[in-house]
Structure 1
Amino acid sequence: MQTVSMAGQARLLEMTYQRLHTSIMVLPLVALALTLFYQLQHDARWMWGWFGFYVVFAATSHRLRRVFRQDQGRRDAADLMRRWRPRLELCALIHGAGTTAPVVIAAGHASYDFALLLLVTNAAILAGNATHQTPVLSVFMRFFMTGWNASLLVQPWLFPQHWYFILPLSLLHTFTMYRHSHTAHRFFVHQVWLEERGQQLSAQYREARDAAEAALAEKNRFLSTAAHDLRQPVHAMGLLTEAIALRNRDTALAAPLSDLRLNLQSVQLMFNSLLDLSKIESGQVAVRPEPLLLRPFFNELEIQFLAEARSRGLRLRLHMPPAGAAVQADAALLRQSLSNLVHNALRYTPQGGVLIGARRRQGHWRIEVWDTGLGVALEDRARIYQPFYRPQHAWHINREGHGLGLAVVARCVDLMGAQHGLQSRLGTGSCFWLQLPAAAPGPCPASPRSQPARPLQGRCLILDDDPHVLGAWSALLSSWGLQVCLASDARQAFAHVDAGQAIDVVLCDQRLRSGESGFDVLLALLARCPQARGAMVSGEFDAPALRRAEDEGYLVLKKPVDVADLQALLSRWLAAPVDAAAAVEVPQP
């Protein structure tokens, strides 16, 4: 009893009382049968008195049972144990004495048949109670001592001619029931302990789950709040690096600048993967499945990764799908998944190359990314899609990764309701694949990268509250031949417009130290400059103003802005004059 809580002990007490009450309620029927049998041969006045006692005892037990149930609902476990354990022990004591009474009454003059029937009946009653009345052992032991054990003393008078072989058998039965009662008691206690332990583990699991969910939500809130500040310096570094590379004329700096670009791309990918994963886990991604042609995505991958593959000394090959091959998927999630898979393959392939292909499989298209890299060990495959996990041998080849790319792939694929998997042989290479439902040919997704860069002419107004970022914007756009107007708040921005400067493009940061809404400022500037195009620039991924901008058809550029995407966008915007109607509604590329 000490291994379970007080509530567990109260549960054991209730189980004991249930069996004791059942035994008492059945005894009037047993007493009636034995009394009628005894009356056939002897005067049964005492036996009828014994029967009457059990009728009264059963009625009393029934009333006590109702009181016990009431106390269960209004008393705590400790109070219930203090109040009812002594009562049940007394009831068991009386019940045991009651089962001994007919043995005393019949001793010395009962027939052998009746005496044997009485002995077998008492042995059966003992066996039943030794199994089910033992959750609280002290209750059963009182029944045992005043019942069966007391009847052993009378057996020489009950069986005057046969007691010498009946008594040893009865003693053996006594020993057996004693051992069995202790075994049953340990069983009941252990069962209650297991129930309590299961409840404790369930409570611990719920607490751990709630803590994990709270930590995840807190992490997502932090990233959502800090995303702007985290991306600002990376955004500025990317713009400045590109501006320096464009202005550089020293061949000795070409290689360091190339390395700097690659490292910045790695940092940008890490930021994007981390924030994308947080966005997915917090349920902030809206999935918009539609029919998508596969070939444009393959073209994007070639443009995006061909230079990186060559810089690593690798071959990038694409096995183009048929012209009409299309899948039902979300364009952004599919693009993110494929980009992460190819980037991951290049990163962990020391030599050889990467092959991207697609094949039709029973109403689905399976997109496969093959590499001749490290491969994935069998024991790592179950964990490789977990965030921040990298196989140990991967660190010896490439230390740039953070174990986020494949985690983002798995989340994106799950959101689209598609399938993903891998085939690999350690030391030989891997094949990571996505399987999506086939669809009728849909629209070709526009890709800023696929459009050739054109000479840029025009004036851009940049609104950002960070002077380092403004300097980076100015350096990059000036290197492209553009005129640049810089502003840190709405007042300075409107001052450029009031000065009569013709603004062709407005790029506005959402979060401004002045407290103004970047999107509201953008709308006001476009209203004053109807010939201009405009877009939002932000490091946040869940600001209401940004969702509103996207809902109204305005482009939102995520920091750190991809330089190639930016150049392609400005080339398209500034390639030809635009009318006033097209200047306000800015479709996303």
Structure 2
Amino acid sequence: MTFFQDFQNEGISPPAQIRLLNNTFLRLVFSFSAVPFVGIPFAIWIYLLGDDTGPTVTWIIIYLLCAVAIRIMHRRYQREVNVNDDEAVLRRWLPRINKVAFVHGLGISSLYLITPQTQNFDFFLLLNISIAAIVAANATHLTPVISTFTRFFFASWGVLNLGIIWRLDDLMFIVLMLNLLYGFAIYRHALTSHTYFIQQARLEEQSSRLAEQFRQAKEEAEQALLDKNQFLTTASHDLRQPVHAMGFLIEAIIHRNRDDSLTPQLLDLQQSVRSVHLMFNSLLDLSKIESANVLSAPTNVDVAALLDSVITLFREEANSRGLRLRIWRPKRRIFIMGDSLLVRQCLINLIQNALRYTQQGGVLVAIRPRGAECLVEVWDTGVGIADDDKSKIFSPYYRPELAWKIDSAGHGLGLAVVARCARLMKVKYGMQSLEGKGSRFWMCFTQHRGEDIPDTLPVCVTLPTPVRYAPLHGSCLVVDDDPLVTSAWESLMSLWGINVRCAASAKEAFAIIDEGFTPFAVLCDQRLRSGESGFDILKALFDRLPDMSGAMVSGEFNSPVLLEAEQEGYLVLRKPLEPAKLHALLTQWSGGVS
């Protein structure tokens, strides 16, 4: 570091340099204002000693005027800092502030040269100590910009030492040596103080960069979350279309099936489609929760009935791999406090995880009441988890080495979703595992024992036998542009005795009406490939056939058009539509069975 180094080699940005220059200039203004008051006691002393006070009073007046001028200069500097570029301010003002500091240093020590007390050692010694104190104070205050302090220090200390040589006689050598040692110590302290200021500026810059990086990362994450949720919301219609069609086709197959041996498999297939429907809803609900649009709402959940519907999803997989998938639960119904969608998501992920990493043996899902609580456990005889991996097993995108050896698929999100759902419901969760022996994952819920327990099982329980629907009569118009979906509509409703016609646009729909087709009901999809609004088509059909009944049927959940339709009193049905609900609705609209 050279004597007159400025910011060029400090490695800090212009904004940080401006902050340091602000501190230095402000302390310089304060020092200019304070120094005249140091000269007043010495002027009084000289007056009491009967000597001429003119030079000292003149010195005080000049310093007061300089202090006023420096304050005016500081205000101009502040105005320029607010409106000009940082680098331009540094180029313009750093040399000026250094010159002011140099003049300030000369001015302080000049009092040593103009005093008339040439033979009064006590006076000179006290004046020397006072100047040394001012220099020592500025060794901290002016060191944010080391070039400013250096100019001040060598101007003041150099003049002071020259004055000692000039005005002291016998004790000159001793005082000069002490001054030189003191000056060396002060300058070393100034360098240390400057290093501290520079480090502080770098830390502030680093903190600002990290804060900015965090802000950008946070905004990117929030935007990614919004994009994902928007994608799910937009894609939900297209994702639900095939599920909607499968539900209707499976219902039609079940009622046309004459082979009793196929009935259990068809019922499991029907339940699987329903589970896919629920998983779509769960996925959308989780997305809403992530975006803070929906809060988890604890309710009374029949955990055994919920488990029955989940097990259906994995029974065939377990059988095909020769694994035992068992359930243990008490005979009485157990209700827990939780969000049914989140509990279901947890069960699906835990059972799927257990089956994936179990090569022989099986998986046991247990519901164990424990006083006021209820444990939901998933045991497996799989590969287990190593001790080093246990603390990270619930982290997103983490898969232990043993898991990679069994199955390279997956992204390590299953257990992370379980942990997130558990935290949303504020329930405890955990695991125990022995490497090569198996694992136990558990969640601990509060058990509900209130009087508001329902008497009927939820609709998600697997139906033991096919439902036989009463025949209907009449005609129905379906406006949908997906051939697979329209085929499913025709297959199911024709089975019930309804004459079905399908149209893919307004033009086709009104052409069918013009042919003399008079439906008692119309079911209209909102999103059509033609770009037309299904809601507009439905209203136009109502204007043409005012005695007709009808509804919107869509897989979209956040559509402003559908919201408008509901607000205007139109019925909006969500895909996938349960055949039982559709049959009940058509029965009501047609006026009863045939």
| TM bucket, shorter chain | 0.7 to 0.9
Alpha-carbon contact 1:508-1:519 (below 8 Å) kept: no
| Matched ranges for 1:404-483 at <5 A | 404-415=413-424, 417-425=425-433, 426-427=435-436, 428-433=438-443, 435-436=445-446, 438=448, 440=450, 441-443=452-454, 444=456, 446-451=458-463, 452-456=465-469, 458=471, 464-471=480-487
Structure 1 CA distance for aligned equivalents of residues 207 and 183 of structure 2:
36
- Greater shift in the superposed pair: 25-34 or 293-302: 293-302
Structure 1 residue 271: deviation in Å? Answer: 7.0
Are residues 1:488 and 2:497 paired?
no
Structure 2, unmatched stretches of 5+, are: 1-6
2:534 is matched with: 517
Please point out which of 10, 13, 19 is paired with 1:11: 19
Structure 1 position 120, deviation (Å) = 1.8
Counterpart amino acid of 1:30? V
**Which runs of structure 2 are paired with 1:208-247 in the superposition (5 Å)?**
208-232=217-241
Deviations 1:73-116 (A, max 9, x none): 34443443344333322322222112212322358823222222
Counterparts of 2:271 and 2:307, CA distance in 1: 22
Partners of 2:342 and 2:189 in 1: CA distance = 66
Give the letter for the 1:6 counterpart. P
In structure 1, how many angstroms separate the alpha carbons of the residues matched to 2:215 and 2:575? 37
Note the C-alpha offset of 1:122: 1.8
What is the alpha-carbon distance in structure 1 between the residues aligned to residue 347 and residue 170 of structure 2? Answer: 96
Deviates more, 1:233-242 or 1:441-450: 233-242
Shift of 1:173: 2.1
Q: Distance in 2 between matches of 1:550 and 1:154?
A: 95
In structure 2, the residue matched to 1:20 is 28
The Cα shift of 1:436 comes to: 4.7
1:540 aligns with 2:549: no
Work out whether 1:397 is the aligned partner of 2:414. no
Answer yes or no: is 1:310 the counterpart of 2:319: yes
User: Counterpart amino acid of 1:543?
Assistant: S
How far the C-alpha of 1:18 sits from its partner, in A, is 1.6
Residues 165-180 of structure 1: pairs in structure 2 closer than 5 A:
165-180=174-189
- Aligned residues of 1:97 and 1:146 also touching (Cα < 8 A): yes
Identify if the C-alpha distance between structure 1 residues 286 and 580 changes in structure 2 by more than 3 Å, giving closer, same or farther. Answer: farther
Q: 1:32 aligns with which of 16, 40, 62?
A: 40
Query: Which aligned pairs between 1:114-133 and structure 2 lie closer than 5 A?
Result: 114-133=123-142
CA contact (8 A) 1:418 1:434 kept: no
Partner amino acid, structure 2, of 1:327 = I
Shift of 1:160: 1.7
Distance (whole Å) between structure 1 residues aligned to residue 367 and residue 269 of structure 2 = 34
Q: Residue 200 and residue 187 in structure 1: after superposition, are their counterparts in 2 closer, same or farther (change >3 A)?
A: same
SS of residue matched to 1:154: helix
User: Which residue identity is paired with 1:513?
Assistant: R
> Quick one: distance in 2 between partners of 1:15 and 1:147?
21
Q: Which moved more, 1:539-548 or 1:312-321?
A: 539-548
Structure 1 stretch 294-303 or stretch 153-162: which is displaced more?
294-303
> Do the aligned residues in 1 keep the contact of 2:109 with 2:160 (CA within 8 Å)?
yes
Q: Which moved more, 1:536-545 or 1:119-128?
A: 536-545
CA change 1:121–1:190 in 2 (3 A) is same
User: What SS class does the counterpart of residue 291 from structure 1 fall into?
Assistant: strand
> Could you tell me how far apart the structure 2 residues matched to 1:582 and 1:209 are?
57
Deviation at 1:124, TM superposition (A): 1.6
Aligned-partner SS, 1:450: coil
Give 3-state SS (helix, strand or coil) of 2:158's partner: helix
> 1:103 pairs with 108, 112, 115, which one?
112
Give the C-alpha shift of residue 135 in structure 1. Answer: 1.7
- Change in 2 beyond 3 A, CA 1:48/1:405: same
3-state SS of 1:51 partner: helix
1:187 alignment partner, one of 171, 190, 196: 196
Distance 1:391-1:453 versus aligned 2 partners, 3 A rule: farther
Native 8 Å contact 1:21 1:62 kept in 2? yes
Task: Provide the rounded CA distance (Å) in 2 between the counterparts of 1:395 and 1:239.
Answer: 39
CA shift at 1:151, angstroms? 1.1
Q: Give the match's secondary structure for 1:542.
A: coil
Q: What is the letter of the counterpart of residue 300 of structure 1?
A: S
Task: Say if 1:360 and 1:269 are closer, same or farther in 2 by CA, change over 3 A.
Answer: closer
1:202-234: CA deviations, max 9, x gaps?
223222322232233223323322333345457
Change (3 A) 1:399 1:73: closer
Report how far residue 423 of structure 1 moved. 0.8
How far apart are residue 31 of structure 1 and its match?
A: 1.0
Quote the Cα distance in structure 2 between the aligned partners of 1:475 and 1:567. 12
Retained in 1: the 8 A contact 2:551–2:570?
A: no
Report if aligned partners of 1:127, 1:177 keep a CA contact under 8 Å in 2: yes
Q: Give the conservation status (yes or no) of the 8 Å contact 2:337–2:445.
A: no
In the alignment, is the contact (CA less than 8 A) between 2:535 and 2:565 conserved in 1? Answer: no
Read off the aligned partner of 2:440 and give its amino acid letter.
S
Q: Offset of 1:59 from its aligned partner?
A: 3.3
What is the rounded CA distance, in whole Å, between the counterparts of 1:158 and 1:550 in structure 2?
A: 100
Partners of 2:133 and 2:71 in 1: CA distance: 23
Amino acid across the alignment from 1:332: L
Q: Is the contact made by 2:329 and 2:366 (CA closer than 8 Å) also made in structure 1?
A: yes
Residues 236, 469 of structure 1: 8 Å contact kept: yes
Give the Å deviation of 1:139: 1.9
Question: Given the superposition, is the C-alpha separation of residues 501 and 113 from structure 1 closer, same or farther in structure 2, using an over 3 Å criterion?
Answer: closer
Most deviating of 214-223 and 296-305: 296-305
Does structure 1 conserve the Cα–Cα contact (< 8 Å) formed by 2:556 and 2:574? no
Residue 513 and residue 421 in structure 1: after superposition, are their counterparts in 2 closer, same or farther (change >3 A)?
A: same
CA distance in 1, matches of 2:529, 2:107: 90
CA deviation vs aligned residue, 1:424-450 (integer Å, no higher than 9, x gap): 324421314253574624335522443
Tell me the distance in 2 between the aligned counterparts of 1:582 and 1:370.
Answer: 53
Which of 205, 208, 217 is the aligned partner of 2:214?
205
Residue identity in the other structure for 2:188: R
Q: Which amino acid aligns with 2:16?
A: G
Change (3 A) 1:138 1:400: closer
What do residues 351-407 of structure 1 show as CA deviations (whole Å, max 9, x unaligned)? 333333345568554433333334445665666556665445434434564555445
Identity %: 39
Aligned partner of 1:586 in structure 2 is none
Note if contact 1:365-1:438 (Cα within 8 Å) is conserved in structure 2. no
Counterparts of 1:15 and 1:481 in 2: how far apart (Å)? 87
Worse-matched range after superposition: 42-51 or 273-282 = 273-282
> CA shift at 1:499, angstroms?
5.2
Q: Report the aligned-residue RMSD.
A: 4.8
1:21 CA displacement: 1.6
